Structure 1
Amino acid sequence: MPSITVRRLYKDNQAKLRLTWIAGTTGSDNILTTDKGRSTALVGHLNFIHPNQVQVLGTTEVDYLNKMEAGQIKASFDELFDRVISLVIVANNLSVPSLLRDYCHTHNVPLMTSGLESPYLMDVLRIYLQRRLAVSTVMHGVFLDVFEVGVLIVGQSGLGKSELALELISRGHGLVADDAIELYRIAPERLEARCPAILRDFLEVRGLGILNVRTVFGELAVRPKKLLQLIIHLVYATDEHMQSLDRLNTYKETEEILDVHIRKVTLPVAAGRNLAVLVEAAVQNYILQLRGIDSTKDFIERQTAVLKEQEADDAFDSD
């Protein structure tokens, strides 16, 4: 299962969340994970009964601790720190209760403070952890932003995926990743595509080598990430495949990735076919279908209406 250390969380969020590490530095390698074996939630306010992996103390929680008797606090902390806690954060620039600092130090639990209010702090951390701990996979192909739609172009080697991507970029669309695309399930039905750092901005085109798309086409030609919405599958336009095609294309093909079903369009590749135009048309058609406009359905309904009208005319003439 995906996981990150408290040290990584601190480095990524220190400036944004105004974090100061004040105790428990020996617990820097404590793990935050969505492992189903750990029943604790990731982030939440201080909870003695169902502790979170990241325990956040705001004004209410600190006031509550300050009003408790010393013996009661110690008994609660004994039980709390016997469980799996990865990190404690005191928000709102509040003073840290001395007993909390001592327990974090002796139990190797990092203790941090933040100048932000606890609700905002938790919202930022939840979004951050949701993305960092998302289930992921790697797929091969080219990922582009076409008309604000995240499009993954896949197919056998030698079909011209990179050349197609180059043509689409020259037409004003954006590159997200080439060759290796990292896909993260950031929500039950949402996959986000990212590019490995080592490949960012680069596109390999046979005959030209490796191009830096940002340098050649400018800053607007690349995107750091994008949701996956449509898969374009390129295939060789063999006679057998062309004969098997559903010309009305009434069946909407999908592909399952990380338990998420993604709309898929198969495009035959043959000499003389302008693939860039076809991809743009496929994306525009996908956008229209999202808005409830289905050209194939409209055509079938119109054809059905004409046939019914002809049948009615024939029945009238026979009478």
Structure 2
Amino acid sequence: MAKVRTKDLIEKFKMELLSGEEGIHRPITTSDLSRPGLEIAGFFDYYPADRIQLLGMTELTFFEKLTSQEKQARMERLCDDQTPAIIIARGLEVPEELMESSERHSVPVMRSNLTTTRLSSHLTNYLESMLAPTTAVHGVLVDIYGVGVLITGQSGVGKSETALELVKRGHRLVADDCVEIRQEDIDTLVGSSPELIEHLLEIRGLGIINVMTLFGTGAIRGHKRISLNINLEIWDSKKQYDRLGIEEDKMKIIDSEITKITLPVRPGRNLAVIIEVAAMNFRLKRMGVNTAQEFTDKLANVINDRDPDQL
């Protein structure tokens, strides 16, 4: 199913529908917009018909200089069967030739009072957000000190219980069990909760609790950019875990990669505190302070400075 249709733009930006009402259910498949100045001048060789066509003062002023025959021909070609909509900016008057062609081909013509540049910016931002690639991940997303931490692991490992402890420590829950993720830009992943389970947390033996009702609005967030993945796994005595923090694993989601830390789970470990510290350490690294690397460098200098006979 199409994520965005022309009628969604009319409702979102309070536009005035002038003609082509039969086509308001046309799907919008790209966030790119087109300002068809060359097309109005008669050059249709590379006409991007699948884009929203945005007409401002420049295009319409030039259009008025054309002959009556040219006006009809240009608008006939502009109203393509693939074109989702034609939008007039600045509340300008709509050419009669455009109205007639849009009705014949059922291409919606809308009008907005916003300036062309501002309208273009708003439309692009909205469409990029709505048409961004999406996926869903089994896990919990928590905002810890401004860092979006995606907690993953096998079912029953303690993800929700850890999230509950983090909420009690003042951090904010974004999603539990299922995290919907969209890639809004290169290396920009934004996670949110499905509407059905928003603000809810499932604790085995206790059931489903509403975090906002129990802890207040300050304990939840609608969405958060994901920066760090904490993967919980049952402690394996035969496995060698990282003790210095030099090596950095990555988790790939859609086309982006985020830092991944694997935490072994066993009785006695306070996972909430460890994850809290991991988020703080991650922020520190982004500020250019890498404690593990500094320790390694100091250790290497000590070894190099020692007398070879003592080694």
TM-score, with length taken from structure 2: 0.92
Q: How does 1:162-173 map to 2 (within 5 A)?
A: 162-173=160-171
- The partner residue of 1:306 within 265, 281, 302 is 302
Confirm or deny: 8 A CA contact 1:253 1:263 kept in the other structure. Answer: yes
Please state if 1:216 is matched with 2:214.
yes
2:261 is aligned to 265
Secondary structure of the corresponding residue to residue 67 of structure 1: coil
Q: Report how far residue 245 of structure 1 moved.
A: 1.5
Query: Who is 2:270 aligned against?
Result: 274
1:153 alignment counterpart? 151
Q: 2:241 aligned with 1:250, yes or no?
A: no
Work out whether residues 51 and 80 of structure 1, in 8 Å CA contact, stay in contact via their aligned partners in 2. Answer: no
Q: Does 1:98 align with 2:88?
A: no
Structure 1 residue 262: Cα displacement? 1.0
Match of 1:283 in 2: 279
Deviation at 1:234, TM superposition (A): 0.1
Equivalent position of 1:51 in the other structure = 48
Alignment RMSD, CA only?
1.8
2:32 to 26, 42, 61: 42
User: Any gaps of 5 or more consecutive residues in structure 2?
Assistant: none
8 Å Cα contact 1:44-1:122 kept in structure 2? no
Of 283, 291, 301, 1:295 maps to 291
What SS does the aligned partner of 1:287 have?
Answer: helix
| Aligned position for 2:229 | 231
Q: Distance in 1 between matches of 2:237 and 2:257?
A: 29
Does the CA contact (< 8 Å) of 1:143 and 1:152 recur in 2?
Answer: yes
**Counterparts of 2:80 and 2:111, CA distance in 1:** 22
Q: Does structure 2 retain, via aligned residues, the 8 Å contact 1:229–1:263?
A: yes
Return the match for 2:113 from 115, 125, 134: 115
- Counterpart residue number, 2:122: 124
Note the C-alpha offset of 1:167: 0.6
SS in 2 for 1:116: coil
1:193 and 2:191 aligned: yes
* C-alpha distance in 1 between matches for 2:225 and 2:98: 42
Q: In the aligned structure 2, how far is the partner of 1:292 from the partner of 1:253?
A: 18
2:286 counterpart letter in structure 1: L
- SS of the equivalent of 1:165 reads helix
Structure 1 window deviating more from structure 2 (2-11 vs 89-98): it is 2-11
Aligned length: 303
